[in-house]
Structure 1
Amino acid sequence: MRVLGVDWGSARIGIAVAETEPFGGTLLPVIAASGSLAKDARRIAEVATSERVEAIVVGVPYNPLGSGNMGRLCRKLAEGLRALGWAVHEVDESFSSQESEDALKEMSLSAPRVRSKIDSAAALRILSRYAHGE
């Protein structure tokens, strides 16, 4: 199944696309967040359509003490995508950005290259968690 991964942030939205079996993915260009979840959902849906995916996987930060503000916003984004007719799955994205940053640094990328890829790399990590049932 072809899926689109989303690492939503208030400034940037990381995007990646992957096949779940066998797992293999590609980083897509980061989308600048618009300040409106509805607009962000429409833009993500446009990418999903152009990438011909079957579903969208949204990373949601899970907080053991309950859902924080970012978790609520990510869930609202997922609801907006569902309202646009997409099958949406939510996956714990806790530490995905930090893990992605560490992996990119291990590749000896320059600091600017790491910053330019971290959000989409986190989206790919979210897809990996989805594909592997984490």
Structure 2
Amino acid sequence: MRIMAIDLGEKNIGVAVSDQLGWTAQGLDTIKSTGKITGDLDKIKELVEKYEVERIVVGLPRNMNGTIGPQGQKALDFAARAARHLNLPVDTWDERLSTAAAERLLINADVSRVKRRKVVDKMAASIILQDYLNARVKKT
């Protein structure tokens, strides 16, 4: 089962997909947001069809105390619309600090600031997806 993760941002949407067995995550793309959920979902739908995705995971930004703020509510709204628009099951996954972790990994790999900006969103989506996949393995 191939799973796709989405890291929502104001300007960019990071996308990652799992392998067909659902074990490993790979960064796929960074989509420039259109500013409209339907437009963004149409772009995501193309990737869903191309990669034969069967489930979506949307990163859910929570406050450090676990509560859901305005960005978290946007992610929940996006997830609900994605489920209807893509006709797929959509889960949310706590993504606290995923972008910071992606940034740290890229800095440690000595990736230049310009290149980091281009890949940090899809790397954050990869981290979200890998955490989600790891949790699924632990449950079985």
After TM superposition, the structure 1 = structure 2 runs for residues 93-104 of structure 1, keeping only pairs within 5 Å, are 93-104=95-106
Structure with the bigger percentage of helix: 2
User: Paired residue for 2:50?
Assistant: 50
State the distance in 2 between where 1:29 and 1:20 align.
18
State the distance in 2 between where 1:28 and 1:52 align.
14
State the distance in 2 between where 1:66 and 1:125 align.
21
Contact 1:45 1:81 in 2 (8 A): no
When normalised by structure 2's length, the TM-score is: 0.88
When normalised by structure 1's length, the TM-score is: 0.92
- Unpaired segments ≥5 residues, structure 2: none
User: Paired residue for 1:109?
Assistant: 111
Q: Deviations over 1:53-102 (max 9, x none)?
A: 11111001122363211101111110111112111110001100000010
CA RMSD of aligned residues (A): 1.7
Contact 2:5 2:128 in 1 (8 A): yes
User: SS where residue 31 of structure 2 aligns?
Assistant: strand
Contact 1:37 1:76 in 2 (8 A): no
Contact 2:3 2:22 in 1 (8 A): no
Q: CA deviation at 1:25?
A: 2.5
Q: Which structure 1 residue ranges, 4+ long, deviate > 6 Å from structure 2? A: none
State the distance in 1 between where 2:13 and 2:67 align.
23
Contact 1:38 1:77 in 2 (8 A): no
After TM superposition, the structure 1 = structure 2 runs for residues 17-96 of structure 1, keeping only pairs within 5 Å, are 17-19=17-19, 21=21, 23-63=23-63, 64=65, 66-84=67-85, 85-96=87-98
- Unpaired segments ≥5 residues, structure 1: none
Contact 2:15 2:31 in 1 (8 A): yes
State the distance in 2 between where 1:31 and 1:88 align.
19
User: SS where residue 10 of structure 1 aligns?
Assistant: coil
State the distance in 1 between where 2:38 and 2:62 align.
22
Contact 1:57 1:90 in 2 (8 A): yes
Q: Deviations over 1:7-38 (max 9, x none)?
A: 01110000111137562222122100111122
Q: Percent identity?
A: 29
Contact 2:6 2:16 in 1 (8 A): yes
